[in-house]
């Protein structure tokens, strides 16, 4: 019998690093949110795989490169002690190219489900946009919306940040 694993899918901008209101691709402007390393450590200690799923449309718009995105991800991994299991990004933008990887599509999550043999019923997604919640819902993953979303449309749970989302996930 195969054991199924559990994971927390994490949107990047606005969850793990500060949302700048514009694209974030320069490591010196990539500011990790307070409490992120500690929150990820708590989730990891509870047996969750940690998987970043982020739309990076600036690549399709030729504003920056995948190499620059990876440099930001290296900074994130370093700050968190290398505990993130996978970092997926979609380089598409609807005005330039179609992609099922781009959230609200769920292909980034589906890749991780296959790779890590995940039980979607034991997984969560944490994001700051309803499209993140939709990507999770597409495959049966529960979501926690974070941040100051005016257009949260009554989505629950809706909490302040990753620290609060971690408490929701861990049932605390």
Burial annotation 135-163 (CB, 10 A radius, 16+ → b, else e)? bbeebebbbbbbbeeeeeeeeeebbebbb
Query: Catalytic residue among 11, 128, 132, 161, which?
Result: 11
Tell me which DSSP letter residue 2 carries: P
E strand or H helix at 137, and its extent? helix 130-137
Q: For residues 107 and 91, is the Cβ–Cβ distance under 8 A?
A: no
Query: Catalytic residue among 13, 91, 132, 161, which?
Result: 13
Active-site residue, 13 included: yes
Question: How far is residue 108's CA from residue 106's CA, in Å, rounded to a whole number?
Answer: 6
Question: How far is residue 160's CA from residue 83's CA, in Å, rounded to a whole number?
Answer: 23
Active site residues: 11, 13
């Amino acid at each position: 019998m195969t054991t199924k694993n559990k994971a927390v899918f994490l949107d990047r901008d606005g969850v793990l690093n500060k949302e700048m209101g514009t694209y974030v691709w320069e490591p010196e402007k990539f500011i990790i949110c307070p409490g992120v390393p500690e929150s990820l450590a708590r989730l990891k200690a509870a047996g969750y795989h940690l998987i970043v799923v982020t739309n990076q449309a600036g690549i399709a718009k030729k504003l920056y490169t995948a190499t620059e995105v990876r440099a930001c991800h290296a900074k994130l991994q370093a700050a968190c002690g290398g505990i993130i299991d996978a970092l997926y990004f979609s380089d598409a933008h609807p005005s330039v190219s179609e992609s099922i990887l781009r959230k609200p599509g769920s292909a980034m999550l589906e890749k991780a489900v296959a790779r890590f043999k995940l039980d979607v019923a034991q997984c969560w997604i944490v994001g700051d946009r309803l499209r993140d919640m939709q990507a999770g819902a597409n495959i049966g993953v529960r979501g926690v919306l974070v941040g100051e979303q005016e257009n949260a449309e009554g989505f629950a749970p809706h909490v302040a940040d990753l620290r609060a989302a971690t408490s929701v996930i861990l049932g605390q």
